[in-house]
Amino acid sequence: MTRKPDLKNIEKVAAVVPAAGAGLRMGGESAKQFLDLNGTPLLAITLRPFETCQAIQAVILVVPPDAIEYCRNEIVKKFKLKKIKDVLPGGKRRQDSVRLGLEAVEEEYNLVLIHDGARPLIDETLINRIIQTAKENRAVITGMPAKETVKEVNHLTEVTKTYRREKIWLIQTPQVFRRSDIIEGHRRAYEENWEEVTDDSLLLERLGIPVKVIQGSEKNIKVTTPYDFKLAQILLGRGFAF
């Protein structure tokens, strides 16, 4: 039986922001995280709440290898993001980029928050809420209850199973873990060649660690397609993000 640790006095929190994807589904020349979103690079908007949130002490940013200098000059320096301790080159897959970012988090940080660089509508309220929950739970993720019925299909797109909607959650980031736990999960995945991991909490599940889900935000969308980008423009224009 896994013993639940006492997390009440944990104070040091570092954020790892993977933003090393190519953004191929956007169809543009630039990676989606660097697109101009209402006058500001999307990635800079994502990082703002982590800069102003007092619960976060450090940020590790992981970007494409050929974008490091651009990010240091046009994102970090230009927008005065003083909490960013390092800008690192990412790997081929998201899980590789997260692992590389985790390796740069110093031992003094008890908790690590992971947030997708392509989710620019995150706000301090959600960041603070998940960190507070992580003081009482070993691993915490955000998500939204499914509104539509979810079905599983085969290679012929024939339905093979229908899930009970009330048990389905659509998972988001941020996600918060004990530093030692998430590093161990990524180490195991790397050394044992686990299949591609699109959600970091899956690693904790495989280690037998309970994962708590709290409600995220409907506006906390991941910008993946041109439609997502347009929606983010509208939401930002209406002041729904901080």
For the chain, give percent helix, strand, coil, nearest 5: 35, 20, 45
CATH H-level, domain 13-237: superfamily: Spore Coat Polysaccharide Biosynthesis Protein SpsA; Chain A (3.90.550.10)
Whether residue 187 is predicted with pLDDT greater than 90 in this model: the reply is yes
Q: Please report which confidence band the pLDDT of residue 122 belongs to, taking 50, 70 and 90 as the band edges.
A: very high
* Cα torsion through 220, 233, 63, 134, rounded to 10: -20
**pLDDT bucket at 27, cuts 50 / 70 / 90:** low
Identify the pLDDT of residue 191.
94
* Tokens 């085969």, residue located: 154
For residues 229 and 42, give the distance between their C-alpha atoms in angstroms, rounded to a whole number: 9
| Crossing angle of helices 124-134 and 42-52, rounded to 10° | 50
Which backbone phi and psi does 35 adopt, to 5 degrees? -65, 150
What pLDDT is stored for residue 241 in this prediction? 42
Residues 6+ apart with CB under 8 A from 37: 45, 120, 229, 232, 233, 236
For residue 185, give both structure tokens. Answer: 């999960």
Q: Does residue 146 register a pLDDT over 80?
A: yes
Residue 1 has pLDDT above 70, yes or no: no
- Predicted TM-score of the model (pTM): 0.91
The counts of H helices and E strands in the chain are 7, 11
pLDDT range class, residue 11, cuts 50, 70, 90: confident
In degrees and rounded to multiples of 5, residue 152 shows phi and psi of -100, 135
Binned at pLDDT 50, 70 and 90, residue 90 comes out as very high
Question: If you write DSSP's letter for every residue of 33-51 in order, what string do you get?
Answer: GGSEETTEEHHHHHHHHHH
Mean pLDDT of 130-159: 96
Residue 55 has pLDDT above 50, yes or no: yes
- The CA distance from 33 to 224, in Å, is 10
- In order of 54, 118, 158, 171, 201, the CA distances from 221 in angstroms are 23, 8, 29, 11, 18
Which residue has tokens 């889900």? 213
Residue 87: predicted pLDDT = 97
- pLDDT at residue 240 tops 90: no
Question: Which residue(s) pair with 58 in the sheet?
Answer: 14
At 195 the pLDDT is 81
Predicted confidence band of residue 24 (pLDDT cuts 50, 70, 90): low
